[in-house]
């Protein structure tokens, strides 16, 4: 393994900076580590020391919140440096001063980056993200996105770009890479798939089950960047995740994994999943039962009777020979759910093959929500796309 050291003078002393970034995923019981090394430059500005990546490739960031900043810190892993930032109003910013380069909201269209990262918050329509993705991907510029609205609403239009000029691993599963795993594993022998797709909900329920107050753990999730911004209340945070986030992820995962494997597969729209809003009464029950419930999405191919009280605030949707069920399910009712009862902002997946799981059960789990796992997955996508474009 190559190592890079940056040696610079600072306050008459020499500082040696070495960065070893580690990403960890549990994949089918195998503990995998991928070590990345990066070269950083220390820069003293206004009395503060900051780190800035050095690289030969030009990277454009669309969105400069928690995820965007985490991506910037990892750019050295792909030999890239930040060449521009597009903020929420469409203005192009100078990455050094964070000031607009002009007042022209179309100035970004003149940019010629080597890689583009869409790290803006997800929206209901994904209209803005789609415009950015389509503009650059249509020109052959690799694009990596964590924004879910574009993929959830415009999957058919974006499908031609997938895995060649568009990386979407960070839209579902955080750092688990579950999209690729399910795409490879799904076949006619698979009868059940169980998924924890929202690390924020998992983090909140885990915290409450450990004795934290609901308000305390929700605020902690917000401060750590696990929850999407903009919620007006703690209850709005929960509904934002169950109504706005999870259905988008289900549709992206289904369309991404089913359509390549089955030529007759039907696309789903995220609005097809009628997740009811969480009321104050349901929330009270959920808090009381936090130790036995997690938000789990289940795909069943074989007939399965689920007692009504096993799912709190759930939905059901039928497509082809599959039945998709989602909601706050009781983890003590299905032995397969034990593999999904992880601590913190985890995501996970259980794939059961054969009748009564006789042909095997495959498990994947790893970090879900948060800037760290999300940015790590985006960088991994970027590395793959850049190798394709270079080849």
pLDDT digits (tens, 9 = 90+) for 97-128: 999 999 999 999 999 999 999 999 999 999 99
Q: What is the spatial distance between Cα 34 and Cα 36, in angstroms, rounded to a whole number?
A: 7
SS3 260: coil
- Listed residue (181, 188, 182) closest to 355, CA to CA: 188
Contacts of 383 (CB under 8 A, 6+ apart): 77, 78
Our CA angle for 390, 137, 366, nearest 5°, is 80
Residue 96 structure tokens: 């050094």
Mean pLDDT of all residues in 224-239: 85
Please report the beta strands in 63-122, taking only residues with DSSP state E, as ranges in sequence order. Answer: 80-86, 92-93, 115-118
Residue 302 structure tokens: 């074989």
Homologous superfamily of 6-20+35-174+372-390: NAD(P)-binding Rossmann-like Domain (3.40.50.720)
Per the DSSP assignment, residues forming a β-bridge with 80 are 57
Are 78 and 379 in contact by the 8 Å Cβ rule? The answer is yes
Q: Which residue has the higher pLDDT, 295 or 390?
A: 295
Q: 55: pLDDT confidence band, cut at 50, 70 and 90? A: low
The pLDDT, as a whole number, for residue 390 is 67
pLDDT exceeds cutoff 50 at 359: yes
Q: 370: pLDDT confidence band, cut at 50, 70 and 90? A: confident
* Most confident among 30-34, 291-295, 344-348 (mean pLDDT): 291-295
| Domains 6-20+35-174+372-390 and 178-369 alike in fold | no
Percentage of the chain modeled with pLDDT above 70: 83
Q: Which residue has the higher pLDDT, 150 or 334?
A: 150
Q: 321: pLDDT confidence band, cut at 50, 70 and 90? A: confident
The pLDDT, as a whole number, for residue 263 is 65
Domain boundaries, the chain: 6-20+35-174+372-390, 178-369
178-369 placed in CATH 3.10.129.10: no
Judging by DSSP bridges, how do beta strands 40-45 and 48-53 pair with one another? antiparallel
The pLDDT, as a whole number, for residue 187 is 87
């Amino acid at each position: 393994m190559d190592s890079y050291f940056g040696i610079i003078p600072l306050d008459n002393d020499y500082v040696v900076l070495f960065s070893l970034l580690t990403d960890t995923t549990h994949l089918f019981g195998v503990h995998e580590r991928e070590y990345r090394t990066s070269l950083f430059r220390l820069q003293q500005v206004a009395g503060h020391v900051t780190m800035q990546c050095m690289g030969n490739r030009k990277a454009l960031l669309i969105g400069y919140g928690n995820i965007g900043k985490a991506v910037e810190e990892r750019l050295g892993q792909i030999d890239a440096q930040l060449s521009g930032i597009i903020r929420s109003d469409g203005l192009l910013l100078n990455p050094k001063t964070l000031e607009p380069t002009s007042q022209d909201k179309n100035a970004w269209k003149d940019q010629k980056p080597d890689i583009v990262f869409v790290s803006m918050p997800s929206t209901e329509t994904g209209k803005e993200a789609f415009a950015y993705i389509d503009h650059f991907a249509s020109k052959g510029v690799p694009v990596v996105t964590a924004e879910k609205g574009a993929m959830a609403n415009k999957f058919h239009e974006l499908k031609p770009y997938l895995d060649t000029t568009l990386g979407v691993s960070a839209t579902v599963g955080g750092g688990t890479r579950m999209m690729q795993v399910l795409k490879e594993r799904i076949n006619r022998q698979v009868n059940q798939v169980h998924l924890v797709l929202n690390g924020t909900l998992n983090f909140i329920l885990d915290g409450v089950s450990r004795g934290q107050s609901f308000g305390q753990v929700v605020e902690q999730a917000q401060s750590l960047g696990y929850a999407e911004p903009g919620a007006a209340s703690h209850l709005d945070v929960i509904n934002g995740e169950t109504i706005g986030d999870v259905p988008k992820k289900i549709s992206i995962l289904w369309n991404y994994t089913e359509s390549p494997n089955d030529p007759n597969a039907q696309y789903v729209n995220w609005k097809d999943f009628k997740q009811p809003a969480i009321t104050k009464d349901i929330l009270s029950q959920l808090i009381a039962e936090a130790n036995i419930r997690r938000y789990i999405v289940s795909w069943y191919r074989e007939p399965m009777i689920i007692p009504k009280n096993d799912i709190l605030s759930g939905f059901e949707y039928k497509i082809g020979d599959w039945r998709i069920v989602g909601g706050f399910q009781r983890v003590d009712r299905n032995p397969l759910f034990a593999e999904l009862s992880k601590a913190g902002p985890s995501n996970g997946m259980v794939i059961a093959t054969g009748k009564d799981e006789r042909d095997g059960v495959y498990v994947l789990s790893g970090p879900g929500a948060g800037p760290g796992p999300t940015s790590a997955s985006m960088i991994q996508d970027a590395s793959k796309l850049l190798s394709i474009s270079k080849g």
